[in-house]
Structure 1
Amino acid sequence: MEDRKSSLEIISPGLPKELDILSIFDKCILPEDSFTKGIISNVLCKDQNADHVSFNKVLFKNVKFDNVSFKYLDLVDVRFENCDLSNVNFSQSVIHKVEMINCKMVGMNMSESALRNVLFEECDGSYALFRFLDCKQVGFKNSSLGSADFYKAKFSKVAFNNSNLQQTGMSGVSLKGIDLSSCNIEGLGVTVADLDGCIVSPEQVISFSKLLGLIIKR
Structure 2
Amino acid sequence: MKTILCFGDSLTWGTDAATGGRHAYADRWPTALRSALGPEVEVVAEGLGGRTTAYDDYLADCDRNGARLLPTLLHSHGPLDLVIIMLGTNDMKPMIHGSAIGARQGMKRLVGLIRFHDWGRDATPPQILLVAPPPLCETDNPVFAAMYRGSVAESRLLASVYRDLADELGCSFFDAGTVAETTPLDGTHLDAANTRALGQALAPRVRALLGL
TM-based fold match above 0.5: no
Q: Which structure's residues are more often strand, by fraction?
A: 1
Q: Which structure's residues are more often helix, by fraction?
A: 2
| TM-score range relative to shorter protein | under 0.3
* TM-score, structure 1 as length reference: 0.25
**Structure of higher CA gyration radius:** 1
* TM-score, structure 2 as length reference: 0.25
